[in-house]
Amino acid sequence: MIELTCPHCGFQKSLLREKIPVGTRRAICPRCRERFEIPLLDEGREKPETDRSNLRTLPPWERRSELGWVGGISESLKGVLFAPSKFFKTMTVPGGVKEPLAFGVLMGSLGMMFEVFWQGVIRLDDLPSPDKGVFGDFALSPLILGTLILCPLIATIFICVSSLLLHFLLTIVRAGKNGFEGTLRAVSYSQASQLWALIPFLGSLLAGIWLMAVTVIGLKEIHGVSYMRVIFALLIPFVVIMMTVTAGVVSFFMFF
């Protein structure tokens, strides 16, 4: 038995040594969510052979102090866009919601900005001219500028609302094993898919498809459940809508 005490808020908890993974050096306080060093736990016990690829750790974005801003962002993007299963499978869940939410808002905002930009280019009625600037009327559109300014707010609302809805659906099928934080982490980091909108015209479609796919992968890996259970949870709203429509049509023909 080992007694862990948070140096930030004084929270204490007793844990069996056997319950703490070998090699663990830091813990996250469940009360104040701050990280702190814990005593060496490997002394006096045999270290079993472990597959380090299965060890969960903080994603690169949350290790910017070690990797730097460029490394943290680029490694996180690389993981979500090209190896999402491995990225989410190795992500630790007890790490707080501020960092993943910040990443999601940043990536979601950039993706929406790219999409708004290309949509504005499509709607241009004239070619760029010196008197109107490089992008013609697009550069002066109040609607476009207002949308770009509101992108961070829209991204924040989208992430929070979709996380709440998805976790509610996962709870119905008993698939939200790692709590709301796990769901929000999956949704937030999946927003990196929005950067496919950088590709002209077809990027928005690619971003939407990849966002759905990566979200399903993230929920499956973070909560440790099957794809079937996650997909079944996502289909619940469609089943309810179909049943409601069917009931309405049957009622209409019965009474009229």
pLDDT at 29: 79
152-168 burial, b at 16+ Cβ within 10 Å, e below that, comes to beebbebbbebbeebbe
Range of the domain at 159: 60-244
Shared domain check, 94 and 203: yes
Query: Is the sign of the CA dihedral 125, 128, 133, 135 positive or negative?
Result: positive
pLDDT at 142: 64
Among candidate residues 217, 206, 224, 112, the one with its CA nearest the CA of residue 159: 112
pLDDT, block means (10 residues), the chain with 256 residues:
74 73 74 72 47 70 91 94 93 88 94 81 53 48 68 93 95 92 95 91 89 95 93 90 84 73
pLDDT at 196: 92
Shared domain check, 30 and 124: no
In a domain, 253, yes or no: no
pLDDT at 147: 67
pLDDT at 189: 96
In a domain, 93, yes or no: yes
For the chain, the domain total comes to 2
Which residues sit opposite 4 in a β-bridge? 13
In a domain, 174, yes or no: yes
In a domain, 256, yes or no: no
pLDDT at 42: 47
Global pTM reads: 0.69
pLDDT at 144: 63
Shared domain check, 199 and 90: yes
Main-chain dihedrals φ then ψ at residue 38, nearest 5 degrees: -120, 160
In a domain, 11, yes or no: yes
Cβ proximity of 110 and 196 under 8 Å: no
Shared domain check, 150 and 90: yes
pLDDT at 28: 81
Shared domain check, 75 and 20: no
Q: State which amino acid sits at residue 138.
A: F
pLDDT at 168: 95
Q: State which amino acid sits at residue 219.
A: L
Relative to beta strand 2-5, strand 12-15 is antiparallel
Cβ proximity of 152 and 105 under 8 Å: yes
pLDDT at 220: 94
pLDDT at 73: 94
